[in-house]
Structure 1
Amino acid sequence: MTVRRSPALRLGVTLATCTALLLSAGCASDEGSTAGGSTGGGGTTIKEGLNVAFLPKQVNNPYFTVSDNGGKTAVEEFRGEYKEVGPSEASASSQVSYLNTLSQQGSDVIVVSANDPNAICGAVNQARQGGAKVVTFDSDTNKDCRDLFVNQVTGQGIAENQVKLISEAIGGAGKVAILSATANATNQNAWIELMKTELKKPEYSKIELVTTVYGNDDDQKSFQETQGLLASYPDLKGIISPTTVGVAAAARYLSGSEYKGKVALTGLGTPNQMRDFVKDGTVKSFALWNPADLGYLAAYAGAALASGIITGKEGEKFTAGKLGEYTVGPDGVVVLGPPTVFDSANIDQFNF
């Protein structure tokens, strides 16, 4: 699916300043509350006063703090009411009670990053039956359990990016492992399968994927799993960790171990998490999209649904504030845009 690409990540700006800039850009006129080109709804303007709730995988995760704050910025632009709720641990069923409560409270829009593709489906459908529009972001449910899924990039794009970065880091040959989030994480599992397919290409024939381990998006467990990988595979050349918690924990372990500079690491992380590890040589490069933009887009997508601008059908269009126009693709998926690669040459230009 092709959509209009997200603008480049904002450079050298604190998260607080970024938020202020976004607010000034979106609230100066009514443009931030307008969406055009709809083929399904009958309206073109987002309703004021929508109750929008964000339910991340876990509320103490820095990645979701940034993404949810992006959603808050969007909600303020279209003059809605924002809240964030969620579990402190990313277990499969931990989000169900929050969904039930949000449904009882009459939320107009629920934006959720699913810890499990199936565990929350019943609660999501009850919320939808109660009148809420449900948008998944970052990690999807089964497609029948929500109205839209706002994805970071295509899964293929992430797989190509991660395999390319680890190949460059290890010189195109050697054993590698994957440190993932939870074993049931929809997005992680999809990316891993696509990475396995990508590794079958002739240019990666000298790279062997030996195992995948799970840190459950917990810092200490991810640290321990990294330690275990090196104990089990002393000849390991590289680790891919497509999760912000995992890649930072793995970098912390490597930076203080005998493997620093010998075992390569890449993954998906934020510049502020990874800056020290890039500068001390633990990590050559890693990638990520702008999580604030992801939350911002998800909020606008939910508002467009709740306002009758779109219904979630393929081909419908809506405008997401400063990000511009997006098109709903197959299976109700909207894609933010390509990831940015961070390395020693550009990491100081980013602050989130």
Structure 2
Amino acid sequence: MRRTTWALAFGVLLAAGAARADSGWTGGDDLPTSPLACDGTAAAAAAKPYDGGTPTSAPDRAGKPLTVVDIPKLIGIGYFNATSKGIADAAKELGNVTAKTDGPTKANIDEQITFIDNTITSGVDGILFAANDPVAIAPVLKKALSKGINVVGYDANSTPDARQWFVNQAEFNGIAKSLIDNLAKEIGEEGSFAIVTSTFTTPNQARWIAEMAAYAEKCHPKLKWLETVEAQEDNILSFNQATTLINKHGDELKGIVGMTSVATPASAEAVTQAGKCGQIAVIGLATPNAMKPYVAKDCVKSVVLWNPVDLGYAAMYVLRAVADGTLKPGATSVKAGKLGDLQVVNGSEILLGAPFVFTKENIDKFDF
């Protein structure tokens, strides 16, 4: 895969209606992008009509006890342990919700669909999900809606008509700006880098990468992208992929961007074991606890994320509001307990807030 600048790599991608660039770019989706201003000027929120789905003949659940099942991409990793905790905390706080988390131990869309299908059969009031694939998951979510089940997504979206609302951890272009700005700060405006993602079809990673491309072309056009590799949200594969990038590109590689909470610490470990701390920057999305050892050793200077406990907490409050009928199409905000009022954006999304950058100065204040 040949080296290319961001401008070349994304000239075709960003053309109206174009497929992925002929230059070999992979990892981003083909949806329209909206890069933020280079100087950080806030973007104006565009009002859009509700585009979510509607459950068929849903019973009156206002104020009544709810049984909710949370089915994330996978269970057993720190990130989704944190969202699960937030869901459980909110359920306990609400007092009339029984919530549990279940799902595959690998980020496998077929297994996730099976878990959701089984949950529908068991008879529940609500389903929370984080999608492994936005399109493939849609039919089973629509099946849940057809059974009168309330469906709310978080972390990774489905097609909008397959769920009622989606709780977005931060807007995609905001995350993209934070990642690229921090990357350019560490490797320089003409540095070369590679990306370790989960899969090329995982909705949130693909959206972030597409927005990163657009923002980089606009604000840091001389950054050089080398390639994007898949690592399936697997720790060993992520480490091996990062090691391969280090060996393959040698001194040309100045930075690795991890797009998942698994890929980023695994990439930092690969850089550490290669003796490249200070020579190859690692920027990415990860939980602070996983990154503290690398930040303490100055092998990683910045970690971009949000609070996944708050994300799960917000998702549970949104589902309760939907079931109660207090969150309806056309709403501009929703009450989310200790988080206060959260804004409705893009028709049927609830925005948790802006991304946060963890650094050596603040990372020890967080425990998740």
The CA deviation at 1:242 is 2.1
Asked if structure 2 preserves the Cα contact closer than 8 Å seen for 1:113 and 1:138, the reply is yes
Q: Which amino acid aligns with 1:201?
A: K
> How many pairs were matched up?
309
Task: Tell me how far apart the structure 1 counterparts of residues 185 and 62 of structure 2 sit (CA, whole Å).
Answer: 46
Instruction: Using CA pairs under 8 Å that are at least 6 residues apart, name the structure with larger relative contact order, 1 or 2.
Output: 1
For residue 51 of structure 1, give the secondary structure of its aligned residue in structure 2: strand
Judged with a 3 Å threshold, the aligned counterparts in structure 2 of structure 1 residues 242 and 265 are, in CA distance, closer, same or farther, namely same
Unaligned 5+ runs, structure 2? 1-43, 47-60
Q: Which amino acid aligns with 1:239?
A: I
Q: Which amino acid aligns with 1:147?
A: Q
Task: Tell me how far apart the structure 2 counterparts of residues 255 and 292 of structure 1 sit (CA, whole Å).
Answer: 29
The CA deviation at 1:2 is 5.6
1:68 and 2:77 equivalent? no
Which of 340, 351, 358 aligns to 1:342? It is 358
Report what 1:14 is aligned to. none
The CA deviation at 1:67 is 0.8
1:320 and 2:363 equivalent? no
Percent identical residues: 34
TM-score where L is the length of structure 1: 0.85
Unaligned 5+ runs, structure 1? 4-44
Report what 1:303 is aligned to. 320
Q: Which amino acid aligns with 2:131?
A: A
Task: Tell me how far apart the structure 1 counterparts of residues 121 and 221 of structure 2 sit (CA, whole Å).
Answer: 54
Post-superposition Cα deviations, 1:262-300, rounded to whole Å, max 9, x if no partner, equal 100010111110001011121111111000000000011
Asked if structure 2 preserves the Cα contact closer than 8 Å seen for 1:93 and 1:116, the reply is no
Which of 88, 92, 113 aligns to 2:130? It is 113
Report what 2:270 is aligned to. 253
Report what 1:57 is aligned to. 73
Post-superposition Cα deviations, 1:205-247, rounded to whole Å, max 9, x if no partner, equal 3311121111110001101110111122111110111210000
For residue 217 of structure 2, give the secondary structure of its aligned residue in structure 1: coil
Which of 69, 77, 85 aligns to 2:93? It is 77
Judged with a 3 Å threshold, the aligned counterparts in structure 2 of structure 1 residues 252 and 119 are, in CA distance, closer, same or farther, namely same
Which of 236, 243, 249 aligns to 1:220? It is 236
For residue 318 of structure 1, give the secondary structure of its aligned residue in structure 2: strand
Task: Tell me how far apart the structure 2 counterparts of residues 120 and 93 of structure 1 sit (CA, whole Å).
Answer: 8
Which of 239, 261, 271 aligns to 1:244? It is 261
Report what 2:139 is aligned to. 122
Which of 178, 181, 194 aligns to 2:211? It is 194
Post-superposition Cα deviations, 1:138-186, rounded to whole Å, max 9, x if no partner, equal 0001111111111010000000000011111113321111111122110
Asked if structure 2 preserves the Cα contact closer than 8 Å seen for 1:92 and 1:184, the reply is no
Aligned positions of 1:33-52 closer than 5 A: 47-52=63-68
Task: Tell me how far apart the structure 1 counterparts of residues 332 and 224 of structure 2 sit (CA, whole Å).
Answer: 42
TM-score where L is the length of structure 2: 0.81
Task: Tell me how far apart the structure 1 counterparts of residues 282 and 326 of structure 2 sit (CA, whole Å).
Answer: 43
